[in-house]
Amino acid sequence: METIMVPTEADIKRWIKEAFQECFEQLQQGDTGLNITEPEQLLNRKEIAGMLRVSLVTLHEWMKTGLPFTKQGGRVYFLQSEVMRYLKKQQGKVRQMYPKQTVLVKKRA
């Protein structure tokens, strides 16, 4: 037959007090035990174009060929990490980013 131990009120108070003391000590040491990261800031078209040193027209062309963006309230925004990941994948694939562009070369006289 099993014996069931029922804690007294004093036991429960002691356990709660010990738990709070442990938490308080961790907070004093700066260890919250939480992994809190701030959400990444959204960048608008002008900010991301300036960062990449491209025109808004070029940015729009890249958006049509797959550059990740999001719309909020009818406005276009970008996450810098997503844009950088996309551009790294596109390295060496210039034709995909500029499919209709033709390059004109002037002949020297």
Q: Is the pTM of this model over 0.75?
A: no
Residue position matching structure tokens 């729009």: 60
> Six-digit token pair at 52?
């990449």
- What stretches of the chain show up as alpha helix (H) in DSSP? 9-28, 45-52, 56-64, 80-90, 94-97
Q: Residue-wise pLDDT tens for the chain (109 aa)?
A: 788 888 899 999 999 999 989 888 887 887 666 666 778 889 999 999 999 999 999 999 999 989 999 999 999 999 999 999 988 888 766 544 455 555 444 555 5
For the chain, give every domain's residue range: 42-97
Q: Which CATH architecture has domain 42-97?
A: Orthogonal Bundle (1.10)
Phi, psi values for residue 51, rounded to 5°: -65, -40
